[in-house]
Amino acid sequence: SKNGGASGDSKKAISVSAAITIPPEGVRDKIHFLINNLSKANVDDKVLEIKKFIEPNFFPYFSSFLVTKRVAQEANHLEMYASFLKKLGDRILYKVITNDTYIQIRVLMASEKIVQSFDERKKLKNLGSWLGLMTLARNRPILAKQMRLKELVLEAYSNGKLIVVVPFVANVLEMSIHSKRIFKLPNPWMMAMLSLLKEVMEVDDLKLNLKFAIECLFNKLKIEVENVTTRDVLVNRPSHAGNLKPKENNDPVNANQQSPQQGVVNDPIGTGANSDAAQQRLIGQHGAGDEVKVEDAKDPTPYVKIHPSIALFERYPELKDLVPLAVEKAIQDILNVVMRSVQIACVTTRSLIMKDFAMEPDHTKIQRAAHQMVRKLTSSLALVTCKDPLRSNISSNLASKIEERANSP
């Protein structure tokens, strides 16, 4: 199969899904409750508990719930889940979960929106770590009939999907640190994979996040990049511009492909309205906590700047008035996140102020310090937690409003 280097086919995936036996509601509730309350401290107790009610015909349901609802979304708990399965010690369940993992990876790899979707790429990275824990960490190989990691990288190099594949492969290989013997260097398979990743890292103008992912892998494996020899596998293979950093472009026809430093983000509908520059104006362009008032969010028009050469608005200038509306709705939708940042900042500030100013007799000075800290901390927290959701909300809101305008009589 050429679908991302995976050799399983969709018919097999469908047949496996169709074979799932749905347990009775009581058993489903027990499974959900057990997994939701699993912690490092109670793994042994939960192993004994699940053995009392889980039956082999319910393994596919348990596996599907664990892999899709927990593993793919909870990077911090992967080792705990792996420890749980190891102590459970059921080989049949292990095979079912491993097979489900491969299926979910293939589904995400085949997704048309994974290159643009941060959430899907994050799920794929989590599944990569999980696959490594289920295989390399247990001294078990990733069979070629299931998935060929080298071919994944080579195909991604040619079709512009390195941003999808490299973090995934890096997470898989990282789990080899738990291998006691087989996948320690100089394992030939590991050396071949690291050699290929080094060659990818040396590609001119490669996106920085890809280089960072590879460098992190080498650091975690405690391997010096200079000590790995490349084999020139990529020399005669066609590359793809999607793997490289965006270049500055003065051509107005392609102005909507500009880099974020020019004030326009490569957003899915090409409007530029969700750019970092626009977001910075909404939160204070000169730093967190500046004098952009909360009530300004009710009318963000003065802070929304649309690049004059965006192709969409050049052809349809009447759509420009939809951008502030999309921004305003996105801000309103995310205010609950901001309020949570305020609450966190208040609690944190109270604890620090009571400690640092315990001997301060001047209440005015204490109030001034608390006010400044709350303002700065709130704005910083809001920036970190809201930036990506705000970008996504603006884009989706604008797309919806343009569609409504297009369908209106």
Judge whether 267 and 390 are in contact, CB under 8 Å.
no
Cβ atoms within 10 Å of 247's Cβ, excluding its own: 10
The pLDDT confidence band at residue 253, using thresholds 50, 70 and 90, is very low
Judge whether 197 and 203 are in contact, CB under 8 Å.
no
Helix (H, G, I), strand (E, B) or coil at 330: helix
What average pLDDT does this structure show over 189-209? 88
- State yes or no: pLDDT of 19 exceeds 90: no
Nearest C-alpha neighbor of 152 from the set 288, 320, 3: 3
Helix (H, G, I), strand (E, B) or coil at 378: helix
Which position has the higher pLDDT, 106 or 259?
106
- Return phi, psi of residue 210, to 5°: -75, -45
Range name among 227-241, 264-278, 351-365 with the lowest pLDDT average: 264-278
How far is Cα 224 from Cα 181, in angstroms, rounded to an integer? 20
pTM of the model: 0.58
Give DSSP secondary structure letters for 28-73. HHHHHHHHHT--TTSHHHHHHHHHTT--GGGHHHHHHIIIIIIITT
Residue 298's pLDDT is: 63
Q: Report how far apart, in Å, the C-alpha atoms of 74 and of each of 135, 306, 387 are.
A: 19, 38, 21
How far is Cα 192 from Cα 241, in angstroms, rounded to an integer? 25
Beta-strand runs (E) in 258-381: none
* Residue in this structure with the two tokens 């492969």, named with its chain if needed: 169
The pLDDT confidence band at residue 333, using thresholds 50, 70 and 90, is confident
Which position has the higher pLDDT, 383 or 100?
100
Q: Report how far apart, in Å, the C-alpha atoms of 381 and of each of 292, 337, 375 are.
A: 16, 10, 10
